[in-house]
């Protein structure tokens, strides 16, 4: 089953609320791939996902651009990766990141398109597009039936709050 959802966010606050909602429904083994241009809001969304996962506020989630991976303790572990500075999936395998996809936490990957061939099949792809200064379109895509069901319900409720 292929599932495809679109949501329009009007401001930064909407993005933060969406991230928190994603964090709250995330489960062990989920993999969220965040794509979109520089400054689209991938790290901003990841920070809010961390909040929703109950990562303590003093462990502020920053962009892992230079170290490529940060690990945080929340309700479940959060592995926040950024593939921007990597060339292809060979780099990711060399760094040992593939193993994290199958551990006991949530993996969130910025610029995952660098390595589509090694990403877990049941992943959720989120594409963020800048529409205005603060407006963003957010496109969700998954082939995982259970994940689609979870997100369909969450997004249905979230839309009512925008």
Ligand X SMILES: Nc1ncnc2c1ncn2[C@@H]1O[C@H](COP(=O)(O)OP(=O)(O)OP(=O)(O)O)[C@@H](O)[C@H]1O
Residues that bind ligand X (CB under 6 A): 9, 11-12, 15, 36, 38-44, 63, 110, 134, 136
Which residue's Cβ lies closest to ligand X?
Answer: 41
Q: What is the contact surface with Mg ion in residues (CB under 5 A)?
A: 42-43, 63, 110
> How far apart are the C-alpha atoms of 41 and 18, rounded to whole Å?
12
Nearer residue to ligand X within complex by CB, 15 or 144: 15
Nearer residue to Mg ion within complex by CB, 66 or 117: 66
Nearer residue to ligand X within complex by CB, 47 or 144: 47
Phi, psi (rounded to 5 degrees) for 151: -75, -35
Best CA proximity match to 110, nearest among 8, 59, 38 = 38
Q: What is the largest CA-CA distance in the chain?
A: 44
Number of C-beta neighbours around residue 51 at 10 A: 18
Q: How far is the CB of 42 from ligand X (least distance, A)?
A: 3
Name which of Mg ion, ligand X, none residue 136 binds, using a CB cut-off of 5 to 8 Å depending on partner kind: ligand X
Q: How far is the CB of 16 from ligand X (least distance, A)?
A: 8
Residues composing the chain: 162
Nearer residue to ligand X within complex by CB, 103 or 139: 139
DSSP-derived letter for residue 37 is S
Tokens 């039936």 -> residue: 145
């Amino acid at each position: 089953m292929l599932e495809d959802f679109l949501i329009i966010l009007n401001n930064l606050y909407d993005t933060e609320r969406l991230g928190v909602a994603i964090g709250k429904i995330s489960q062990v083994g989920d993999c969220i791939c965040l794509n979109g241009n520089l400054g689209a809001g991938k790290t901003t969304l990841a920070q809010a996902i961390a909040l929703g996962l109950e990562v303590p506020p003093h462990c502020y989630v920053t962009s892992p651009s230079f170290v490529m991976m940060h690990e945080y303790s929340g309700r479940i572990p959060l592995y926040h990766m950024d593939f921007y500075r990597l060339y292809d999936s060979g780099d990711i395998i060399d760094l040992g990141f593939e193993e994290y996809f199958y551990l006991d936490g949530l993996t969130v990957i910025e610029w995952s398109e660098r390595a589509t061939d090694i990403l877990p099949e049941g992943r959720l792809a989120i594409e963020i597009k800048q529409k205005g200064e603060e407006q963003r379109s957010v496109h969700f895509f998954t082939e995982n039936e259970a994940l689609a069901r979870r997100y369909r319900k969450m997004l249905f409720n979230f839309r009512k709050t925008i």
